[in-house]
Chains A and B, each alone.
Chain A
Amino acid sequence: MSNPTEVLQELLASEIRGDILVLFHRNPGLIDTLQGVARRIGKTEYSIEKDVQSLVKIGILKRKKIGTSEVIFLDRDRDHEVLESVANHLSTIRGSNEN
C-alpha cells in the first residue's frame, strides 16, 4: 500500500486504530503481546486483532516471535516514512477558504 490517501484512510479507519497509534507513538520503545497491547488501551485481544493486522500491513507495526510468544512493536523508521508521506500529501490539499 503506497497511495497516501489509502494509507491515511487505513490509519484512521477506527477508534481502536487511533488508540494503538497513540499508544505506540507515546511509547516508541514498547514491545508487548497482542493481549498486553489490548489491555493497555482497555480493549480485548480479539477486538484489536484486525486493527493491529492492518497497521502491520502498512508497516508501522512489526510482529516478532520471541520464545513461545509473539510480540508487537513500532517500526520507527517506517512509521516516520509513512507519516511524512501522508503529511506531504495533505499539504497539497487546499480547503475552500485557504489561499
Chain B
Amino acid sequence: MPGIVSRNILIEVRVRVMSPTQLRKQLGAPNPVQNSGLGNSALAGETEFFLALKQSMSDGIRDSMGPQILSMLQNRGFLDNPDAANQFHSQLSILFGNGTSVLEKIIIKELYRRLNISYDSNSQFDYGAALVYAKEVCSVRPC
C-alpha cells in the first residue's frame, strides 16, 4: 500500500524446556508414585502425608516430653528428614534408649489420627512399617 511504511519487528521468544521431574525438584515438591496411574492425586496424597507426618512428629514430642525437648531436637536437626525413618530411629535411640519406641508410638498415633487411619496398639510395632502403611493409604484415598 502506498504511504505505509512496513517495519519488520523480530520478537524472539526463548522457551526453556523443563521436564515435570525437574520442575517438581525446583519447586521442592515430592515426586509422584511411579506407574500408579493416579497422577496428581497421588502427588497431592504424598504432600498431604509429608505435612501430616512433620506436624505429628512435632506435636507428639511436644505433648509427651514438653516444648524444651522438642526445641532441642529441632535445633539438632532430628526432625529435618521426616521420611527417613531409620535415621530418626537411630538418632532417638541414642538419646531416649528404650523409651524410643514409646515416642515413636505417640507420633504414629497422632499421624493416624490426623489421617483418619485406625491404630491397633496390640499389633507388633515397627515405626518404619507404620509410616509406609500410612503413605500407602494416602496414595489410594484422600488423607
- Which residues of A pack against B, CB within 8 Å? 8-9, 11-15, 17-19, 21-22, 25-26, 79-80, 83-84, 86-87, 90-91, 93, 95-96, 98
Would you call B72 and A12 a contact (CB within 8 A)?
A: no
Interface on chain A toward B: helix, strand, loop, or mixed SS? helix
Would you call A18 and B76 a contact (CB within 8 A)?
A: no
Would you call A9 and B97 a contact (CB within 8 A)?
A: yes
Number of interface residues of B (CB under 8 A): 25
Interface on chain B toward A: helix, strand, loop, or mixed SS? helix
Cβ contacts A to B, 26 pairs, < 8 Å = A8-B96, A8-B97, A8-B99, A11-B99, A12-B96, A12-B99, A12-B102, A13-B98, A15-B105, A15-B121, A18-B102, A21-B63, A22-B60, A22-B63, A22-B106, A83-B65, A83-B66, A83-B68, A83-B69, A84-B68, A87-B66, A87-B68, A90-B72, A93-B95, A95-B91, A95-B94
